[in-house]
Amino acid sequence: MATAPTGAPKRLSIMSIALMTAAAVISLRGLPMMAKEELTMFFYIGFATIMFLLPAALVSAELGSAFSSQGGGVYTWVEQAFGPRAGFIAIWLQWIQNVVWYPTVMSFAAAGIAYLIARPDLANERYYVGIFCIIFYWLSTWLTFKGTDVIAKVTSSSFLIGIILPGIVVIVLALIWIDQGNPVAFEHLTAKDAGLVALEGGKVHPRFWPEFNSFGNIAFLGGIILLFAGVEVHAVHANEMANPKTEFPLAMLISALIIFVLFTLGSLAIAAVMPANDIDLQSGLMAATHIMLSKVGLADWNRLLCALLAIGALGGVMSWISGPSKGLLWTARLGHLPPTLAKTNEQGIPSNILLLQGILVTILSCIYFVFDNVSVAFFLISVMTISLYLIMYMMMYAAAIRLRFTKPDMERPYKVPGGNGGMICIGWTGLSRCIVCLHCFVLPTQQPSYWQPEYLRDDCRSRYGGLYRYGICH
């Protein structure tokens, strides 16, 4: 493979990579989605962790350590296994799904700011959300131009004060809520909450295991899996660590642990305070914290918490801007894209790629202007993101398995346990779950109408199929 030029080396610590990775994966906007499933959330979170998060973290750790001296991330991994064309498709899918994803996480920040200024009604006002997303993204892009050091500092600090701190506050407030003897929402479900309760001896009790008498709950797994995606995104920074062969795998494991704990306890906290039918997917977290803070006489503090949530969203956006765009830069330097996209600034940041990305995100954010219901736009964008990302993951798992046999003597400082059999088992677990979840989007679902794949599929294909086809046909 041709060698692309690299910039001056910078050193990132284990915790920097771990926090950047966790920031890329964790978004507290996903907590209301899981909280609406009440105690069945344990199944969904467990499924996503065991069948998706852990395989992705283990495979990324092996591939990241094996190719730590090279750049390119997912491109390099897939290119080494299946050739340059396949490598380009993989990094293209990672990049374009990332572009499509930005408006969803920024809409969560918009809701946070709406609560901050005491105008929660703006969270579902399409023009406010759309304009906010555009301004918010360009601010993040401007900060990204400052270089990797600034990205690492802003991402790590915003993750700690904008995701970890609010997450801990939500969990502590829920414990106080329960300790004060307030009603626990998931303990007061009724027979009307179909799918969330079971009847035994004429008594209603919460379900831990979802009903699978239809494909609705199976299809819902796709949305949950998206919340756990992204552990591989900062593999492009592995060669910026002092000892990436041992430090990068450790960073992956630390980030996976943070992700699991925060998602599980945070979702349970919201489910304990708010009934499922009262949880709004856009602003459910802010509403839950308002209820809990009001109960302890600190309602005014909710504005501060909402500001912190917006800061956390900023860190998440910046974390993603720096990853896939750098992988795409690698392919531009190798001649897979027009030379103009290989241009970087003095900090080594792919300036033209980020400008192109900003234009596309601006166009996508205008989706909010089209739909009266912000949730419709939110889920439309989410479905597009999931579909593209799952295909990329399938290629990554297949590459990891193939490289075990085509390059058996390649140095792998970290290896997925169990030899080749272990890699086949782990890789196939992740690959098969991606196939199942991708297939779920053609199945009918009992989720809200705007989450029905059959409602969204044709619109996604007609509006954004061109972007996808360009990557495949390149």
> Confidence class of residue 282 from pLDDT cuts 50, 70 and 90?
low
**DSSP per-residue codes, 265-293:** HHHHHHHHHS-GGG--TTTHHHHHHHHHH
**DSSP per-residue codes, 36-70:** TTGGGHHHHHHHHIIIIIHHHHHHHHHHHHHTTTS
pLDDT of 444 over the 50 cut: no
Alpha helices in 160-241 (DSSP H): 165-179, 216-227
pLDDT (mean) for 464-471: 35
Residue 239: which of 348, 98, 352 has the closest Cα? 348
If one compares 305 and 223, the residue with the highest pLDDT of the two is 305
Say how many C-beta atoms besides its own lie within 10 A of residue 208's C-beta: 12
pLDDT of 416 over the 90 cut: no
The SS3 call for residue 197 is strand
Residue 398: predicted pLDDT? 95
pLDDT digits (tens, 9 = 90+) for 334-370: 888 888 888 888 888 888 999 999 999 999 888 888 7
pLDDT of 294 over the 50 cut: yes
pLDDT (mean) for 261-269: 88
Residues 6+ apart with CB under 8 A from 137: 102, 106, 317, 358, 361, 362, 365
pLDDT digits (tens, 9 = 90+) for 105-151: 788 788 888 888 888 888 778 899 899 999 989 998 998 888 878 88
Residue 413: predicted pLDDT? 79
Residue 245: predicted pLDDT? 72
Bridge partners (DSSP) of residue 199 are: 204
Phi and psi, residue 350, nearest 5° = -70, 85
pLDDT of 373 over the 80 cut: no
In which element (H, E) is residue 135 found?
helix 126-144
Residue 396: predicted pLDDT? 94
pLDDT of 459 over the 50 cut: no
**38-47, 133-142, 287-296, 433-442, range with the lowest pLDDT:** 433-442
Contact between residue 251 and residue 156 where contact means Cβ atoms under 8 Å apart: no
pLDDT digits (tens, 9 = 90+) for 32-70: 888 887 777 888 888 888 888 888 888 988 888 888 777
> Confidence class of residue 195 from pLDDT cuts 50, 70 and 90?
low
Contact between residue 30 and residue 263 where contact means Cβ atoms under 8 Å apart: yes
Q: Give the CA count within 13 Å in the CB-facing half-sphere of 64.
A: 28
**171-185, 222-236, 252-266, range with the lowest pLDDT:** 222-236
> In whole angstroms, how large is the CA radius of gyration of the chain?
22
> Could you tell me what percent of the chain has a pLDDT over 70?
77
Angular region, 192: left φ>0, alpha ψ -120 to 50, beta rest: alpha
CA 11, 14, 16, 18 dihedral sign is positive
Cα separation, 396 vs 399, whole angstroms? 5
pLDDT (mean) for 379-384: 63
Residue 4: predicted pLDDT? 43
> Confidence class of residue 329 from pLDDT cuts 50, 70 and 90?
confident
Which tokens in the block code for residue 435? 């196939």
Bridge partners (DSSP) of residue 206 are: 197
Residue 402: predicted pLDDT? 96
- The model's pTM is 0.76
Cα separation, 363 vs 467, whole angstroms? 13
Residue 317: predicted pLDDT? 83
Cα separation, 449 vs 214, whole angstroms? 15
pLDDT of 428 over the 80 cut: yes
Residue 87: which of 105, 67, 116 has the closest Cα? 67
Instruction: Provide the mean pLDDT of the chain.
Output: 77
Helix axes 216-227, 419-440, angle to 10 degrees: 120
Residues 6+ apart with CB under 8 A from 126: 368, 369, 370, 371, 372, 374, 377
> Confidence class of residue 6 from pLDDT cuts 50, 70 and 90?
very low
Residue 384: predicted pLDDT? 64
Cα separation, 310 vs 365, whole angstroms? 17
> Confidence class of residue 14 from pLDDT cuts 50, 70 and 90?
confident
Cα separation, 222 vs 434, whole angstroms? 9
pLDDT of 328 over the 50 cut: yes
Contact between residue 20 and residue 156 where contact means Cβ atoms under 8 Å apart: yes
Cα separation, 141 vs 208, whole angstroms? 42
Residues 6+ apart with CB under 8 A from 129: 107, 110, 111, 122, 123, 368, 374
pLDDT of 9 over the 60 cut: no
> Confidence class of residue 192 from pLDDT cuts 50, 70 and 90?
low
Domains and CATH numbers, the chain: 14-473 (1.20.1740.10)
The SS3 call for residue 181 is coil
Contact between residue 70 and residue 87 where contact means Cβ atoms under 8 Å apart: no
Cα separation, 53 vs 61, whole angstroms? 12
